[in-house]
Chain A
Amino acid sequence: MAVEYETRRTSLLVKSAMFAGLAVLGAAFGYLAAQFADLEAHAIGWDDSLAFAIAFGLLTIAGLSGVTMIVRPSAVLPGCGLLQIAVFALAGLMFLAPMVVPATVPPVWVFAGIVAAFALQTVANVIVWRRADEMLRQLMTDTSTIAFWGLQSAFFLYAAAERLDLIAPVSAWGMAGILMAVYLVSSIVPSVRRGIA
């Protein structure tokens, strides 16, 4: 009996083209962000660079999810499409805002905006969890477990090294970037295991 396989495989050529496209997008994003950010007034450290990379990644995922929703609606989890796009987009904007917006807006207003975006994102996250089916919930749980285990181990080792004056302190902004980066990388493992990524 011929059984229809509905999961399309992406060819290496298409994947390469996608990576090249993302590289061009990343370069454009970096250039534009540098135009808006007051680079001469603020030294850009590794923590800002990491936050820029994460913001770009999150906004790109949001954009690609939007395109997927239009082109291949069956690939989007039912009831979660727009909400997931909102979650990624808001996270990207929240990472970008503290570095880009202060050049034109008072910091207190930027922070108020970030708090509002955070509240919105939390609501969207809760709704995604409630609408998700059992496998998506399992994915979220697995991701959180891997991220927590990795972060708490790394945090303890870092704290011990800092207490011994072996390494320089890391800013809270840097830690927030590391936390998000570890979470995003952690999400790849269960997604690949379940055939989502």
Chain B
Amino acid sequence: MNNHLRTLRADRNWSQADLAAALGVSRQTVNALETGRYDPSLPLAFKIARVFERPIESIFSDEGA
């Protein structure tokens, strides 16, 4: 699974810790998500979409995965 989390976060000048706090997860989890080492559960993916105010499919894609 690919995602644009790192770019979206950088657009908002958020640190990984800021995003982790907004999502209610650890900074390590945000790092693992950004580096593609962990695919989020569906509830977490929806939460990420809500935080960035974007549809899930514009954040995550399965192309090349």
Contacts and interface: CB of A to CB of B under 8 A. Distances in A.
A71 to B, nearest CB: 15
Contacts of A133: 24-26, 29
A136 interface: yes
Main secondary structure on B side of the interface with A? helix
Interface in B6-65: 6-7, 10-11, 15-17, 20, 24-29, 31-32, 35, 37-38, 40-41, 44
Chain B interface bracket (under 10, 10 to 19, 20 to 34, 35 or more): 20 to 34
A51 to B, nearest CB: 31
Given A74-B17, A138-B38, A3 B6 contact: yes
B16 A6 contact: yes
B6 to A, nearest CB: 5
Nearest to B36: A195
B40 A134 contact: yes
B7 A3 contact: yes
Interface of B: 6-7, 10-11, 15-17, 20, 24-29, 31-32, 35, 37-38, 40-41, 44
Interface of A: 1-4, 6-7, 74-75, 77-78, 133-136, 138, 193-196
21 contacts: A1-B7, A4-B10, A6-B15, A6-B16, A74-B17, A75-B27, A77-B28, A133-B24, A133-B25, A133-B26, A133-B29, A134-B25, A134-B41, A135-B25, A135-B28, A136-B26, A138-B38, A194-B38, A195-B31, A195-B32, A195-B35
